């Protein structure tokens, strides 16, 4: 922050409530909208009109903006009641005040609210008014509570202000320990207080055991549009998908959409892009063959502090190797699990080799050694991959092996599509964690290559993409009729792509238990959790990383 930056009184209130929340919102720019914030906006609507009303010598000013160059402070008062030289600030809150006893009438304002109106009083005094009291209206109990403005409160407000400014110039504050403030905080999925405190601890106690406050599932729609010549537009507060050939129209409320993915020649209007960006909804463009071409995302998904930490640590080969070891070890562990679940006992000799490779990966001394271990494990894994599949297509894959460019058979084509989708999921998760997908630790960064996304997806390849292939072909949801051969390789038919996305969507909705934190999340949210834990590691909030492995 520069010296010219004007701090709002609302920002200082955030610091008084939780320094870490303040840092996330004001320094890193992370401020997600929630039901509570939307409800607060509704409460403020009738006082957010600018203007004044006059009665004799009494003036009521709405949305009054005050600024102090001396204090570098600004405020927008909900209401200021002014009589001659006396001013009374009035603030509106959606919730209820602090309750001190069993007496229903024993209410008092929250300390953070007192700090805010005290700062407003300082601004009013600088403007030439006298302020002796302020009021907070709490909508939940429909009561207005008085706050005396005295020197001690103003001094406390000034001290809080200076502490907030100092905080903004330092490192991210530590998370609160088992605080009752955390469960309903909109920033909890970014802050991860319980998870970070657990991994920082030398000894695990009941107080450090993560509470199940991370949202269990993501109920939003991850929309995929692949119909030829379809158009995605906007109609009021809904996304409208129109098929030019069939004239079929579908409308999906914007409030229910989490992401949009389009394949092939699908048109997305400028109005739709703008509406999705306003809600922080990313748009991914894939070719008809499933190659990721571009991602449109809101400019808010950036954080200079996190990106600087990412660049600094990834310039250090030791840090890069530490992250790569954890990723590859988890990947090989999950490959072994998939083989144990789905192959006959004749493969168990090779599975024992993979167990040795897990130990070797965790202790690799160089990237060259680690890549050699990963390659050997993948060779064993894909050697036995046909044994996990039924039907004639398994024989084709056994003859061809794992080939990507171009995929020569349906199974290779399906694997490639699965990895493309997984890379897209990881790119979105990294962006939401304010990380740069192009700057990786393990995969080499090249123009147009999301190296960090490829890093993050390693442990999830067997659990998501490979599992989708095994399920789809063994349950006959995909078969040879869903593919056709071209000079560019074996490609999906439109019906085949639809069948793939149905299977893929079900897999992403499966719940899985985190090996360290003990709670269950959907795969998509599990990927997001891992991206945010990596961000915490980059900022040195935690020393080690644990990636998802299953039994």
Query: In the sheet where 230-235 sits, what is the strand order?
Result: 249-253, 238-243, 230-235, 267-268
Is residue 430 situated within a structural domain?
yes
Q: What is the percent of the chain where pLDDT is above 90? A: 42
Give the model's pLDDT for residue 319: 95
The more confidently predicted of residues 336 and 227 is: 336
- Helix then strand count (H, E) for the chain reads 19, 21
Give the model's pLDDT for residue 182: 87
Evaluate if residue 293 carries a pLDDT over 70.
yes
pLDDT tier, 1 (very low <50, low <70, confident <90, very high otherwise):
very low
Are 204 and 145 part of one and the same domain? no
pLDDT tier, 242 (very low <50, low <70, confident <90, very high otherwise):
confident
Evaluate if residue 108 carries a pLDDT over 60.
yes
Which of 147, 165, 183 is the endpoint of a domain? 165
Evaluate if residue 48 carries a pLDDT over 70.
no
Are β-strands 230-235 and 249-253 bridged in parallel, bridged antiparallel, or unpaired?
unpaired
Which of 296, 326, 342 is the endpoint of a domain? 296
The per-residue pLDDT for range 320-342, each reduced to its tens digit, is 999 999 999 999 999 999 998 88
Total domains present in the chain: 4
Evaluate if residue 234 carries a pLDDT over 70.
yes
The per-residue pLDDT for range 183-215, each reduced to its tens digit, is 888 888 888 898 898 888 766 665 667 776 666
Give the model's pLDDT for residue 45: 54
pLDDT tier, 131 (very low <50, low <70, confident <90, very high otherwise):
very high
Which of 214, 241, 275 is the endpoint of a domain? 214
Are 383 and 270 part of one and the same domain? no
Evaluate if residue 398 carries a pLDDT over 50.
yes
CB 442 within 8 A of CB 323: yes
Q: What is the percent of the chain where pLDDT is above 70? A: 90
pLDDT tier, 3 (very low <50, low <70, confident <90, very high otherwise):
very low
Give the model's pLDDT for residue 328: 96
Domain CATH number, residue 140: 3.90.320.10
The more confidently predicted of residues 205 and 423 is: 423
Handedness of CA 104, 105, 111, 117 (dihedral sign): positive
Evaluate if residue 27 carries a pLDDT over 90.
no
Are 357 and 419 part of one and the same domain? yes
Are 178 and 248 part of one and the same domain? no
Domain CATH number, residue 272: 3.100.10.20
Is residue 550 situated within a structural domain?
no
Q: Quick one: DSSP state of residue 94?
A: S
For residues 408-419, average pLDDT: 93
Q: 14-18, 207-211, 222-226: which has the highest mean pLDDT?
A: 14-18
Give Cβ neighbours of residue 195 (< 8 Å, ≥ 6 apart).
210, 214, 517, 529, 533
Are 76 and 127 part of one and the same domain? yes
Are 121 and 246 part of one and the same domain? no
Evaluate if residue 5 carries a pLDDT over 80.
no
Is residue 546 situated within a structural domain?
no
Are 188 and 229 part of one and the same domain? no
Alpha carbon distance 66, 226 (integer Å): 52
Are 457 and 312 part of one and the same domain? yes
pLDDT tier, 2 (very low <50, low <70, confident <90, very high otherwise):
very low
The range of the structural domain enclosing residue 375 comes to: 304-538
Are 450 and 485 part of one and the same domain? yes
Are 520 and 476 part of one and the same domain? yes
Please give, one letter per residue, the 3-state secondary structure of 525-539. Answer: HHHHHHHHHHHHHHC
Alpha carbon distance 156, 154 (integer Å): 5
Are 55 and 126 part of one and the same domain? yes
Evaluate if residue 366 carries a pLDDT over 50.
yes
Alpha carbon distance 241, 223 (integer Å): 10
């Amino acid at each position: 922050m520069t010296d010219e930056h004007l701090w709002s009184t609302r920002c200082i209130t955030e610091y008084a409530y939780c320094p870490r929340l303040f840092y996330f919102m004001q320094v890193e720019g992370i401020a997600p909208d929630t039901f509570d914030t939307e409800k607060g906006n509704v409460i403020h609507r009738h006082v957010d009109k600018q203007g004044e009303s006059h009665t004799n010598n009494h003036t009521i000013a709405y949305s009054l903006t005050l600024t102090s160059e001396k204090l570098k402070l600004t405020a927008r008062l909900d209401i200021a009641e002014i009589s001659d030289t006396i001013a009374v600030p009035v603030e509106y809150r959606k919730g209820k005040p602090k309750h001190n006893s069993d007496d229903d009438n024993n209410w008092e304002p929250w300390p953070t609210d007192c700090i805010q109106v005290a700062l407003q009083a300082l601004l009013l005094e600088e403007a030439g008014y006298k302020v002796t009291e302020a009021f907070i209206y709490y909508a939940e109990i429909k009561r207005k509570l008085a706050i005396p403005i005295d020197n001690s409160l103003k001094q406390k407000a000034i001290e809080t202000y200076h502490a907030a400014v100092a905080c903004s110039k330092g490192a991210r504050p530590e998370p609160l320990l088992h605080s009752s403030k955390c469960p309903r905080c909109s920033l909890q999925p970014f802050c991860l207080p319980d998870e970070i405190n657990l991994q920082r601890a030398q000894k695990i106690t009941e107080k450090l055991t993560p509470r199940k406050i991370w949202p269990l599932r993501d109920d939003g729609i991850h929309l995929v549009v692949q119909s030829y010549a379809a158009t995605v537009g906007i109609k009021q507060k809904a996304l409208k998908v129109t098929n030019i050939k069939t004239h079929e129209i579908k409308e999906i409320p914007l409030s229910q959409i989490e992401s949009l993915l389009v394949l092939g020649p699908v048109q997305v209007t400028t109005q739709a892009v703008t509406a999705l960006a306003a809600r922080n909804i990313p748009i991914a463009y894939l070719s008809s063959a499933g190659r990721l071409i571009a991602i449109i995302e809101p400019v808010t998904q950036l954080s200079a502090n996190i990106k600087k930490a990412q660049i600094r640590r990834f310039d250090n080969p030791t840090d890069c190797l530490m992250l790569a070891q954890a990723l590859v070890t988890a990947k090989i562990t999950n490959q072994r699990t998939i083989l144990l679940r789905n192959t006959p006992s004749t493969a168990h000799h090779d599975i024992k080799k993979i167990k040795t490779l897990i130990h070797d990966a965790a202790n690799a001394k160089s990237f060259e050694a680690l890549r050699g271990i990963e390659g050997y494990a993948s060779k064993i894994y894909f050697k036995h991959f046909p044994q996990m599949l039924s039907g004639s297509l398994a024989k084709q894959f056994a003859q061809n092996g794992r080939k990507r460019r171009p995929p020569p058979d349906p199974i290779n084509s399906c694997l490639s599509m699965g990895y493309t989708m997984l890379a897209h999921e990881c790119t979105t998760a990294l962006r939401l964690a304010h990380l740069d997908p192009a700057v990786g630790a393990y995969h080499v960064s090249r123009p147009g290559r999301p190296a960090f996304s490829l890093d993050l997806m390693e442990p999830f390849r067997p659990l998501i993409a490979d599992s989708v292939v095994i399920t789809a072909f063994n349950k006959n949801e995909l078969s040879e009729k869903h593919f056709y051969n071209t000079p560019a390789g074996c490609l999906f038919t439109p019906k085949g792509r639809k069948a793939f996305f149905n299977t893929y969507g079900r897999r992403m909705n499966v719940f899985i238990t985190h090996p360290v934190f003990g709670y269950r999340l959907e795969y998509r949210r599990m990927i997001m959790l891992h991206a945010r834990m990596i961000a915490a590691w980059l900022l040195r909030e935690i020393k080690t990383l644990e990636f998802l492995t299953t039994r």
